Structure 1
Amino acid sequence: MSEFGEVFVIRPFGDGWQLSHEYEEGEETSQFSTLPEAKAKAQALAGINLGWRRLDDDSWEATSEDEFDN
């Protein structure tokens, strides 16, 4: 888990993107047409400013605000 207690990962999914949101009580996934939509949803769920780090498999992982790679 991240320092804010939740994990957000966005992965390529078909023609769009899948947001995985892991938190203390469980996990939820949502699908989006565009990467900005998925990032905006994660931002809204987190309630804090998120940075994003691109992973080797073209996924994106939310990071603390000071680690932007957007």
Structure 2
Amino acid sequence: MKFIDAVAKEAANHAPTSVEIFSDSGHWYCRVRRGDEKTRPMGPYTKQQAERIQEARRMLIAESGTSRIMFE
């Protein structure tokens, strides 16, 4: 099990990752994209809330990577 966790963490940290916000019908959403994978949109939020969440997610990813994020 430790080997699987180590491989998942290493692979997750090598793929390009971005945290994006977008608007749909006046509602703002935030999601994480890693290569071709992406999370479900989180929201709806106001634009200001989405920007705050985007920054918080970026900081968390910088600290611990994306190995624990659920992608679709």
Smaller-chain TM-score bracket:
0.3 to 0.5
Between structures 1 and 2, the one with greater strand share: 1
Question: Highest Rg: 1 or 2?
Answer: 2
Question: What is the TM-score when the length of structure 2 is the normalising length?
Answer: 0.46
Between structures 1 and 2, the one with greater helix share: 2
Structure with the greater relative contact order (CA < 8 A, sep ≥ 6): 1 or 2?
2
